[in-house]
């Protein structure tokens, strides 16, 4: 599976907005993780790519030690402040590929909407080496989909994208088959007890909130500032003209794999 290249730097430029606008994850996802790997104060977890800390607090609440590996210095510092009341939390500023690994040291390694930035042939073997026998790798991500209830709004927005991001295509809704395919990657690297799970939710945004969310997407951040301002203004105007609210339909996928 190809790694996304070239835009990873963008998130660090929008650390506070990223923390504010990106969603967390559903309780059922954590319940599934904890069924596979019960955590307590004696446990150690590593988070790969903490971002704004959207996925972190439910793990911290178990009392286990959490080491967050984050290449963006602004994001890492934001999370140090955000989780300053948890003595079991620390953030290390570096790429996961460069993180000094200790073999057989982790009960859980987890990555939320971040592992696709790491080359598969580097990331999976490193996770495998770092996990204790019986330890679990949890990879999960959120996949937003267009507003199903407002097709006219979607069509109007696509016309704007054709001007400002020509060639970009609206993605299809994330499927069970895609989740299964992603889960099976771990099998190539020696993992066992592989499973995948899907969760669904909706999120409503005003026009202003929606363009703020778009300002956390790497390909949107990379657009020249004045052009991006016009682009977002047109999007905001369309949403306001067509009712003032846009709904995203999220599919969250979770892949679990165990080191034998």
Contact 242, 156 (CB under 8 A): yes
Residue 2: pLDDT band with limits 50, 70, 90: very low
Q: Give pLDDT tens digits for 147-156.
A: 999 999 999 9
Under DSSP, is residue 75 helix (H, G, I), strand (E, B) or coil?
A: helix
Domains and CATH numbers, the chain: 8-144+170-202+251-258 (3.40.50.150)
Separation in Å, CA 106 to CA 4, 103, 158, 197: 26, 8, 45, 23
Tokens at residue 4, please? 């996304």
Contact 79, 52 (CB under 8 A): yes
Mean pLDDT of all residues belonging to the chain: 93
Whole-structure pTM value: 0.91
Terminal CA-CA length for the chain? 23
Under DSSP, is residue 49 helix (H, G, I), strand (E, B) or coil?
A: coil
Pairwise CA distance, residues 63 & 46, whole Å: 13
Q: Give pLDDT tens digits for 25-53.
A: 999 999 999 999 999 999 999 999 999 99
Q: Give pLDDT tens digits for 156-173.
A: 999 999 999 988 767 789
Question: Given CA atoms 139, 175, 168, 241 in this order, what sign does their dihedral have?
Answer: negative
């Amino acid at each position: 599976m190809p790694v996304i290249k070239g835009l990873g730097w963008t998130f660090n430029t929008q650390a506070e907005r990223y923390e504010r606008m990106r969603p967390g994850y559903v309780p059922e996802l954590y319940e599934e993780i904890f069924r596979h790997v019960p955590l307590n104060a004696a446990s150690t977890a590593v988070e790969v790519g903490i971002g704004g800390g959207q996925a972190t607090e439910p793990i911290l609440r178990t009392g286990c030690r959490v080491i967050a590996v984050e290449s963006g210095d602004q994001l890492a510092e934001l999370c140090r402040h955000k989780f300053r009341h948890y003595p079991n939390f620390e953030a290390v500023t570096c790429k996961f590929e460069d993180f000094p690994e200790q073999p057989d040291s982790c009960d859980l390694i987890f990555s939320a909407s971040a592992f696709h930035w790491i080359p598969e042939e580097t990331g999976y073997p490193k996770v495998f080496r770092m996990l204790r026998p019986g330890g679990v790798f949890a990879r999960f991500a959120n996949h937003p989909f267009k507003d199903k209830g407002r097709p006219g709004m979607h069509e109007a927005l696509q016309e704007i994208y054709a001007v400002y991001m020509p060639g970009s295509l609206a993605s299809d809704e994330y499927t069970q088959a895609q989740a299964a395919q992603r889960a099976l990657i771990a099998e190539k690297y020696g993992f066992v007890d592989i499973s995948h799970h899907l969760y669904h939710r909706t999120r409503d945004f005003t026009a202003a909130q929606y363009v703020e969310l778009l300002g956390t997407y790497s390909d949107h951040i990379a657009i020249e500032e004045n052009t991006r301002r016009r682009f977002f203004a047109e999007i905001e105007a369309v949403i306001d003209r067509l009712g003032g609210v846009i709904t995203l339909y999220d599919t969250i996928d979770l892949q679990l794999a165990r080191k034998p």
